[in-house]
Copies of this chain bind each other. A is one copy, B any other.
Amino acid sequence: MRVRVTVMPKAGVLDPQGKAIQQALGSLGFDAVHDVRAGKVILLDIAETDATAARAAAEEMARKLLANTVIESFTVDIP
A residues with a Cβ closer than 8 A to B are 6, 8, 18, 21, 24-25, 28, 30, 32-48, 57, 60-61, 64-66
Contacts and interface: CB of A to CB of B under 8 A. Distances in A.
7 contacts: A8-B43, A25-B61, A32-B46, A32-B47, A33-B61, A36-B43, A40-B41
Nearest to A36: B44
Contacts of A60: 30
Copy number in the complex reads 2
Contacts of A57: 30, 32
A36 B42 CA distance: 7
A26 to B, nearest CB: 11
Given A21-B66, A40-B38, A61 B8 contact: no
